Amino acid sequence: MAYDLFLGCVIPARLPYLEASSRKVFEKLGIELTDVDGFSCCPDPTGIELIDHKSWLALGARNLSLCSNNGRVISFCSGCVETLKGVNYAIKNDPHAKEEANTILQKIGKSYDGSVEVKHFAQVLYENLDKVNEKVEKYLEGFKVAVHYGCHYLRPSEIINWDDPFEPVTIDAIVKALGAESVEYKLKMECCGNPVEKSDKDLSLLMIDQKFKAIQEAGANCVVVVCPACYQQYEFNQRDLNKKNNTNYNFPIFYLSELVALAFGYKPEELGFKFHRAKPKVFFEQINFSV
């Protein structure tokens, strides 16, 4: 089993420790990830697409044209997955989009036919849940996890074509397989608010405040995400929010790959946990979790 790896921008260039845990998890599962030279930004479905759809389509098609040798590509980022799946869907199903993209790609001597299969890393983990179960060495006892699916992992369902757009189960199932508890909370399916930060920071903070409130009320003690935009919103804006509102949220924010890697027996030092703002070390002490 092998996949091309599409890294995107945020994880490798700002949050490389999330890449480290993700790569380790796949290595342990024996699923080969191939690095491909020459990718650009996916481009961002909450950024570039909104200002210029045509550029988004063309750059996305160029990226996909680079992985056609393998035929299967995964990303650790929900935004990249949405773009790559969205561009793929357009090129496969809309002859005008296919022509539009290829007319542009012709200028750089490339073409794309829509034949690549795109997956989110959490999808591949869920599809290999038996293997994940086998590799767990250490159950995550005491972890009361608020699962945040995020929007682009699920919707638009016609394009993403994975899990239920409003009642998803996949990430909860993975978290439970690691021996952690998944805590139900109000607003579980709501947006983290990251995409509106570029337009209105206060609104973005209000949205994450509502999520934190609900998570706190439900008694969860940490949050798990599968998207670097959600990760930044929870992790970095937690501090901004505390400053602005005089609140004292201090939830450790984990990437799904970090929890899996921890359960697989990797040490916090190997996973770069020291780079977190809300320190996992303090959390582990609080819940008597020995690492």
Partner 1 sequence: MSIINYEFRNEVLKHNASLNYCYQCSTCSGGCPVALATEGKYNPRKIIEEAILGLQDKLVEKQDPNPWLCSTCQKCVELCPQKVELTEIFTLIKNKCFEKGLYPEGFSAQGQAVFENSVAIPYSKAILTRREQLGLPVIKLAPIDEIKSILKETNFDKNILKGGVKE
- Positions touching partner 1 (CB under 8 A) are 7, 9-10, 12-14, 16-17, 19-20, 23, 35, 37-41, 43-55, 58-59, 62, 104-105, 107-108, 151-152, 155-157, 165-166, 190-191, 193-200, 203, 206-207, 210, 272, 275
Q: How far is the CB of 63 from partner 1 (least distance, A)?
A: 8
Q: Is 206 within 8 Å of 189 (Cβ atoms)?
A: no
Closest CA to 141 of 183, 180, 184: 180
Distance CA 178, CA 248 (A): 29
Nearer to partner 1, 92 or 144 (CB): 92
Q: How far is the CB of 288 from partner 1 (least distance, A)?
A: 28
At a CB cut-off of 8 Å and minimum separation 6, what does 73 contact? Answer: 3, 4, 5, 6, 64, 67, 84, 116, 117, 118, 119
Nearer to partner 1, 20 or 253 (CB): 20
- Give 218: exposed, middle or buried? Use CB within 10 Å, 0-12, 13-18, 19+: middle
Q: How far is the CB of 126 from partner 1 (least distance, A)?
A: 21
Nearer to partner 1, 129 or 159 (CB): 159
Find the helix or strand (DSSP H, E) in which 147 lies.
strand 144-147
Distance CA 104, CA 43 (A): 16
Q: Where are the beta strands (DSSP E) in 184-289?
A: 222-225, 253-255
Q: How far is the CB of 129 from partner 1 (least distance, A)?
A: 26
Nearer to partner 1, 142 or 156 (CB): 156
User: Residue 252, Cα to own-chain centre: how many angstroms?
Assistant: 16
Q: How far is the CB of 86 from partner 1 (least distance, A)?
A: 10
Place of tokens 């020995």: 290
Nearer to partner 1, 52 or 141 (CB): 52
Q: How far is the CB of 269 from partner 1 (least distance, A)?
A: 10
Q: How far is the CB of 153 from partner 1 (least distance, A)?
A: 11
Nearer to partner 1, 17 or 283 (CB): 17
How far separated are the first and last CA of the chain, in Å rounded?
31
- Give 210: exposed, middle or buried? Use CB within 10 Å, 0-12, 13-18, 19+: middle
Nearer to partner 1, 180 or 230 (CB): 230
DSSP code, position 180: P
Q: Is 275 within 8 Å of 284 (Cβ atoms)?
A: no
